[in-house]
Amino acid sequence: MPKTLTASDRSRLIHLASTLPVGSDERRVILSGLNRVAKLPYPTRRGTKVKVMKDVKLKVNRSTRLTILRGSVGKIVRVENRPGGVDSTMLDYMGPNYDPATMDKKEGLLYAIKFDDSAVKEQDWLERSYQALVKDHGYDEDRLPTTTTVTATPSYFMAGILKS
């Protein structure tokens, strides 16, 4: 199992690379390895495409979860920082940033991901929702939405269920 680099390990490697000649193979190997380690296992930007690796139930609102089908591709439309605890999967990636005294104060991320309606397994729920928009709220049937926005957290990416 590979060892997680601490901040001091990373600093030592950067210092070592700075002493090597520019363009040397050793310097390139060190710096490219540090770049790979630094990549986060989850996206941080709006507009990132997301692929569903296996069927997953994601929240639409407080009381509703819809199944998004494997192979579907969506787009992150909002990335929100929110206060909250960090799940145990994230601790593997946090390394020296882990501070048990302040863990519940660290911010987490919440993603709003937009999928085409065809990616949703519960088509009957969508149909009922759209009928309610027309009947109760006076929406024009020709102008109903064709996408569904769901929310997810970084743990879905780290577990391999969602991939960016």
Give the predicted TM-score (pTM) of the model. 0.65
Do 100 and 92 touch, CB atoms closer than 8 A?
no
**Can you count the helices (H) and strands (E) in the chain?**
5, 7
If you average pLDDT over every residue of the chain, what do you get? 81
pLDDT at residue number 150 = 94
pLDDT, tens digit (0-9, with 9 covering 90-100), for 17-32: 889 888 888 888 888 7
pLDDT, tens digit (0-9, with 9 covering 90-100), for 15-68: 888 898 888 888 888 887 776 655 667 788 899 999 999 999 999 988 899 999
pLDDT at residue number 98 = 53
Burial label, 157 (beta-carbon count in 10 A; 0-12, 13-18, 19+):
buried
Coil/strand/helix, residue 85: coil
